[in-house]
Amino acid sequence: MYSEIQRERADIGGLMARPEYREWNPELIKPKKLLNPVKASRSHQELHRELLMNHRRGLGVDSKPELQRVLEHRRRNQLIKKKKEELEAKRLQCPFEQELLRRQQRLNQLEKPPEK
């Protein structure tokens, strides 16, 4: 498939500007413009055509730009990671620290006057 496209493009070679070195030495290899195999592939062309049709109709794949989606995904992952770390820190407190927290809470409750 790629070679067929190159053969078709060989006919277009006459439209390109001719440098001076082609004329004075016929033994030199003549440069050819290389084709992008991705753009030449049938699947890429079909995908591009479908995207253009959807764009004309106003059907977007997603209403948000890709960068915004990626940033939101990262923020969400950071929040989840932070919450997990906080829970892990609470769970991994040593018994001594837990007992100190309990006593501090009891003292705070005793210092507050009972509300009526």
Backbone Cα Rg of the chain = 35
Region 24-29 average pLDDT: 76
**Does residue 79 surpass a pLDDT of 90?**
yes
What pLDDT sits at residue 84?
A: 93
Q: pLDDT value at position 9?
A: 54
> Can you tell me the mean pLDDT for 15-33?
68
What integer best gives the mean pLDDT of the chain? Answer: 79
50-59: average pLDDT: 83
Per-residue pLDDT at 82: 96
From first CA to last CA, the distance across the chain in angstroms is 88
Residue position matching structure tokens 């927290």: 101
Question: Which of 14-18, 34-38, 65-69 is most confident?
Answer: 34-38
* For residue 3, pLDDT beyond 70: no
The whole-angstrom separation of Cα 104 and Cα 96 is 12
Q: Lowest mean pLDDT of 18-27, 31-40, 70-79, name the range.
A: 18-27
Any idea how long the chain is? 116
The pTM assigned to this predicted structure is 0.31
